[in-house]
Structure 1
């Protein structure tokens, strides 16, 4: 079993946390298994399906490293993420939830998560009242253009008209550990009205290896509202999507919406009754994106 300071060990149990909120009835729930060393891939997938959240995270000890630099075995982990239907390379909200769960057990500090997308450092801090906050640093992001015909097909699956998109925020596919199609609605009312063709959108997303479609509306230059359909994971919608928030940070930089050091606020989940707040940090001279938020145990 993975050892922690004091000689205690993580039991193999399924924890339930919610990320990007301070209350159990907000944010995006995630399953968290802090000791998955005895579980097979099939076990992990079965557990994720049974839990039913958009993702469940599974931790195991990291592989042995070579050379002079060795990771702290009490704060470095291999992490895998499973939706109810399939494994995903990276999941932001489950990363935040797992970091909060670890912080409660081994204290604030630096963590290292080795994901299928790459190594993701996470800093856990505590405020004066002891409430924990976690900030992940994404893998190297990139942004690519997308064919107009594909955008039209996605809009049809969403029952949106392309004329309802914000012409100032062009569609792009953005990556910061997972791929997301970003579409900007021209009005908050258009974003609020989401009823889509689940099977049709899923097929389109699989063709482009997309994890979610991130639908956004710009309230101000640094405040956005988002919704993220996730049919490829067997989930209608995510109430908070950290991986998409990181990708969106790269998108804003690519389109010249921000420059230098910038902080974005993304509100998500309100239309689902699970309000979430994601904070996105862009640093001058560093292309990686940082996403931070709070979290709490559900039960």
Structure 2
């Protein structure tokens, strides 16, 4: 006579608590990735964070403002520090109207080399050499690709948002360092068209989050002003092979994908994810 062994269900509460904590961290890092797009005096930072801009403090990390805001380049980065000592370097992503940004996107995609990526890896190398503790990287879009390259070069971690891929040629001297959490909104145009080595090189763990509620209404408003066709055509003309794919999508598909790519959609989707986790935790864990 055999006795069936019943397995006990695993307690979901520890994992739910860990996910809530991590998503809260991702929300802060997303805000930093968004803040670096703004002028320094207009940056709104998460609670507990401040920006380091004094040369003395930067020099202690092996950096200077010339590394972060070079006069001869559109490359931009910022160093933020939390009260607990955590340091986060955020890289600015693509400005839609910047041809220089799009050229760097295309150069990295095709050749694995570009001025922006070289600068990002140089920053990460200096931080590694200065032995600054508890450093990580973040960025959105192109900035996410730069953060990925910095993480691989230094062996530090990165959190990226709707990030550009990473050509394996970029990593020839440091192919496997660091840990990268790649967060993307399902339907984001950049993530949707990335496949193969460039995508895999830029992620160790994927966080695929649902689009924010009301995205359909936003797309309709965009189409009413011709934004979908305009954006698709513009990218198709200036952004190389990736842009050609975006441009060919056109109309509503391009508008939806581009709107899901923006930081507003990332922030809203992360908040939606947090609320879902809080509800599930409350129902299952009290």
| TM-score computed with the length of structure 2 as normaliser | 0.28
Larger strand percent: 1
Whose RCO is larger (CA < 8 A, sep 6+)? Answer: 1
| TM-score computed with the length of structure 1 as normaliser | 0.27
Larger helix percent: 2
